[in-house]
Amino acid sequence: MIVAVIVGMKSEAALLPAGVPGVCAGGVNARAEALARHALAEGAEGLISIGIAGGLDPALQPGAIIIGSGVEAGDRVIACDPSWRDRLLAAIAGSRAGLVHGSEVAAATTTHKRLLFQRRGAVIVDMESGAVARVAAEAGKPFACLRAVSDPAGRALPLSALVGLGPEGDTRPLAVMAALLRRPQDLPGLIRVGLDTKAGLSALGRALKVVGPTLGF
């Protein structure tokens, strides 16, 4: 069985089990959709969105593992494959199921995060899962979502952090430094983002080691 993995960043792809390729959408919905469609055209039998995510539920701390029960994509909620979801939940100790909000823009403020949480109860937000879920649903293929919380609901993202991701999932430290020169007040927030990201990626790496190369499919 062939499963295609769509991630946002190269740092997430680097955590995948050996032999499992991941394609990077760079937080761009259109790119995530195109990559998912290409994967299905190449013979993939399932799609999974993997990476870190912003927390919307105030109870979630950096490093919490969320297995998608469904994805809020625009005005619809697309259910994740229940069997695949349950296998991931059983494999990853401490993980929990929850609704994922698929966003086309970064949820950078605490107000934005609160509104998304109140809308339908989505517990995390990312910028790839919505597009990938739509492609899977249209094709009638199973879809799953495995995400680790990075920035929690009560923490805003500084503006300087928003330029740090390239369209192919690479980091852009020079762009962040240039933005920081214009906004030196962002430095404490950037340090916090770095710590949150490290916690999220560490937890994601541990979870992926547990599920192994099959990714629970």
Give the CATH number for residue 45.
3.40.50.1580
Instruction: Locate 125 and state its tokens.
Output: 């937000």
Is 173 a member of any domain? no
- The answer to whether the CB of 102 falls within 8 A of the CB of 128 is yes
Query: Total domain count for the chain?
Result: 1
Is 164 a member of any domain? no
The confidence score (pLDDT) of residue 88 equals 98
pLDDT average, residue stretch 130-158: 97
Is 129 a member of any domain? yes
Rounded Cα distance between 140 and 30, Å, is 20
Residue 192 has, within 13 A of its CA and on its CB side, a CA count of 13
The confidence score (pLDDT) of residue 163 equals 86
pLDDT average, residue stretch 55-78: 97
The confidence score (pLDDT) of residue 171 equals 84
- The parent domain of residue 122 ranges over 3-157+197-214
Residue 187 CA: distances (Å) to CA of 2, 177, 192, 193, 194: 43, 10, 9, 10, 11
Is 201 a member of any domain? yes
DSSP label at residue 212 = G
The confidence score (pLDDT) of residue 172 equals 84
Judge whether residue 161 has pLDDT over 90: no
Is 207 a member of any domain? yes
pLDDT in tens, 73-115: 988 999 999 999 999 999 999 999 999 999 999 999 999 999 9
Rounded Cα distance between 151 and 79, Å, is 25
pLDDT average, residue stretch 139-157: 97
Judge whether residue 10 has pLDDT over 90: yes
Instruction: Locate 183 and state its tokens.
Output: 């906004």
Which has more confidence, 171 or 150?
150
Residue 95 CA: distances (Å) to CA of 66, 98, 137, 161, 182: 6, 10, 24, 27, 40
Is 152 a member of any domain? yes
Is 59 a member of any domain? yes
Is 163 a member of any domain? no
Judge whether residue 211 has pLDDT over 80: yes
Q: Whole-number mean pLDDT of the chain?
A: 94
